[in-house]
Structure 1
Amino acid sequence: MAREKPLYIPQGLKLRTEIFNGFSKEELIKTIIVTLIAGVIDALLFFFVKNTVVAIVFMLVAVSGTVIMLTKDNSNISVVDQIGFLIKYRFRQKKYRYVYKLERRRYGRQDK
């Protein structure tokens, strides 16, 4: 039997151009959308609270949290992807409830 060559699968190939490691144009567009939505919420928050520090901190947390959650790691999975996987797994699982039933009854008879 001839010796077979092992299959070589390269890791870390980049199929798309990235702004920084794990963050490409797709994630940038999602971040911009979240930033616009957070900006509207931030304007309403500032209108009611009238506190500049709260508005600035809210905006910084929204943008930085979005970037952190959308940045992909070496296995090309982000936090948002992992949450999506967990939700899909949860809804795909079937639930089989255990129902206890008495299988044999004794009607005055003793089994030995």
Structure 2
Amino acid sequence: MSFQDAHKTNALLARHEITAENLRSYTPEELARLLEVDGVITGTFETDKPMSDGASLALGLVVGFYGATNSGKTSINIYDGTSGELLWKYEKALSRSLGSDTNTIVTTIMRKASRKFPYSKM
């Protein structure tokens, strides 16, 4: 199994005038054909800071539990390039409290995703 270099992918997308704004108007099989690949991986990653560390600390002192100070969620999909069929899907949400940061959230979620990713060593 191999993955197309990101520079080549970006160049091919630019040549076809496909941008982040209009990407969703293409199906996975259309993208696979334009990119000359067997499959397409898509996904989203969102992070949020629902509460400051100070607010979480105050909440913990008042009610006995600390609120989430950082959270993130991801969705990763793999599609067959010929049929557009969804072959694999991974979704994960994670929240952490005091002492966490966005980098920790991103690293933890991606480490968990890499363990579930459907590939094999050749």
TM bracket (short chain) = under 0.3
TM-score (ref. length: structure 2): 0.25
Q: Which has the higher helix share?
A: 1
Question: More strand by proportion, 1 or 2?
Answer: 2
TM-score w.r.t. the length of structure 1 is 0.27
